[in-house]
Structure 1
Amino acid sequence: MSRHSDLHQFTRTALADGHPAEDIAAALAATGWSAGEIRDALGAWDIRPGLPPVPRRERTALTAGLALVEGLQLVALGMVVGHLVQLLLTLTDIFLPAAQPLSDWQLTSMRWPVAAIIVFLPLWLWSGWRTRPAPEQRRPALSVWIGHLTVFFAALTLLGDALAIIYRFLAGDMTAAFVVKAAAVALVAALVILAMQERRHD
């Protein structure tokens, strides 16, 4: 049996016997275990009244390779979301034109967002598959934080969108084009929140 297996078994037995986590940590520290090892050993168990220590799923280690893929996924998501919004707004201008006719630049401005989506959407899908943890593991804490921050900014976008709609309504300046554009922004923000659900609850 390895030393870490001994640590695992000792921690479980001590918790099952009702010893406080602070006393267990002090005993382990006195015998040479590092603070990180003690934290991981105690964090592997959940204490619930009337039950023996319940094992928690182990988190996936945040390696350099995984951090690289996580970064690529975040960049790809930003590129897809930004250019998707730009594409939807341009399509709105085409199908619901304002009083002024569209310029040649506006008519050709769809090329760049379409190209960006073609490039970065497969990257986002691949990186999402690549960073999916094994069934017996959880995502690294940093990955979960990124998911929460992404949802936070998407929620701010929804709030700002709602604020703009109410303001334009009160000002009597509500047009069909503006409503469609606001709905497009809200739809993309909602899709981002749905896409991050698994990452947030892991």
Structure 2
Amino acid sequence: MAASEELTVFVRDALLRGLPRDQIRSVLGKAGWRVDQIDDALGAYAEIDYPIPVPMPKPYLSARDAFMYLLLFTTLYIAAFNLGDLVFQWIDHAFPGAPATTTVHGDRAFLAGVRWSLAALIITVPIYLFIGWRLRRAIARDPAKRASKVRKWLTYLTLFVASITLIGDCTSLVANFLGGQAPVRFLLKVATIAAIAGAIFVYYLRDLRSEETERKP
């Protein structure tokens, strides 16, 4: 029997004996079980007054839900990249690094870059917002869907990517300062990356924390 199954069985037997959840949590904590493991085991049974423990429905992830979450985060990445690229285009245009960027050819390249970035944002942002709204509405109807493993994996992957981006951004900033090179254009680009990656990181971190708060008794 796997450790998680053994823990679930123990919790079920303890609830059958009428032991309070706080006491079960305390005993398991002293035995060395992690808080998240204890919460998962207790969360497997509903907190309702009934002679025997009532199991909670386990989250079921359909192919449709997996598709929706994959599309949600894919559009998020595309939108974030193109938003950064759009801002970079304007920074390079406002603070040219070489005389060639002010030529007609440079203006055409700037307009083409802006056009493609705007097109990507016009397509992906509404899709991201619409899918996010649909998924939030589905979770409101069935809170068990919040425990979707695909959702959690993609959320943590997004936090990881945002963290690595922020670390690389800060490293580049420090390295340029140590080298005595920190032009305005570079600083603006660093700030752009930090703002986009930081906003994504904070948003999804708060989402995970709110989920953990809701699970606590």
State the TM-score, normalizing by the size of structure 2: 0.67
Note closer, same or farther for the CA distance 1:15–1:110 as it changes in structure 2 (3 Å cut). Answer: same
Cα-to-partner distance string for 1:131-167 (whole Å, 9 max, x where unaligned)? 2212643330221121011011101100000000011
Structure 2 partner of 1:120: 124
**5+ long unaligned stretches in structure 2:** 1-8, 20-39, 212-217
- Residue 180 of structure 1, aligned match among 167, 171, 188: 188
One-letter code aligned to 1:191: A
- Residue 134 of structure 1, aligned match among 131, 140, 158: 140
Tell whether the 8 Å contact from 2:92 to 2:185 is kept in structure 1 after alignment: yes
* 2-structure distance, mates of 1:107, 1:156: 31
Residue correspondences, number: 168
Structure 2 partner of 1:110: 114
**5+ long unaligned stretches in structure 1:** 1-9, 20-39, 48-52
* 1-structure distance, mates of 2:86, 2:54: 47
One-letter code aligned to 2:45: W
Structure 1 partner of 2:174: 166
- For residues 2-41 of structure 1, what are the structure 2 equivalents within 5 Å? 14-16=13-15, 17=17
Q: Which has the higher helix share?
A: 2
One-letter code aligned to 1:139: A
Structure 2 partner of 1:28: none
State the TM-score, normalizing by the size of structure 1: 0.72
Determine if the alignment matches structure 1 residue 63 to structure 2 residue 69: no
* 2-structure distance, mates of 1:100, 1:57: 67
SS in 1 for 2:118: helix
Note closer, same or farther for the CA distance 1:170–1:198 as it changes in structure 2 (3 Å cut). Answer: closer
Note closer, same or farther for the CA distance 1:54–1:200 as it changes in structure 2 (3 Å cut). Answer: farther
Instruction: Give aligned-pair identity as a percent.
Output: 28
Note closer, same or farther for the CA distance 1:13–1:147 as it changes in structure 2 (3 Å cut). Answer: closer
Structure 2 partner of 1:45: 45
* 1-structure distance, mates of 2:131, 2:14: 39
Structure 1 partner of 2:71: 72
Alpha-carbon RMSD? 3.2
* 2-structure distance, mates of 1:55, 1:178: 59
Structure 1 partner of 2:6: none
Tell whether the 8 Å contact from 1:11 to 1:42 is kept in structure 2 after alignment: no
Structure 1 partner of 2:81: 82
One-letter code aligned to 1:134: A
* 2-structure distance, mates of 1:181, 1:41: 46
* 2-structure distance, mates of 1:140, 1:101: 52
Tell whether the 8 Å contact from 1:143 to 1:199 is kept in structure 2 after alignment: no
Shift in Å, 1:61:
2.1
Note closer, same or farther for the CA distance 1:195–1:41 as it changes in structure 2 (3 Å cut). Answer: closer
SS in 1 for 2:99: coil
* 2-structure distance, mates of 1:55, 1:98: 67
Note closer, same or farther for the CA distance 1:63–1:108 as it changes in structure 2 (3 Å cut). Answer: same
Shift in Å, 1:78:
1.2
Which portions of structure 1, spanning 4 or more consecutive aligned residues, are displaced by more than 6 angstroms?
Answer: 10-13, 53-57
Tell whether the 8 Å contact from 2:44 to 2:55 is kept in structure 1 after alignment: yes
Tell whether the 8 Å contact from 1:70 to 1:143 is kept in structure 2 after alignment: yes
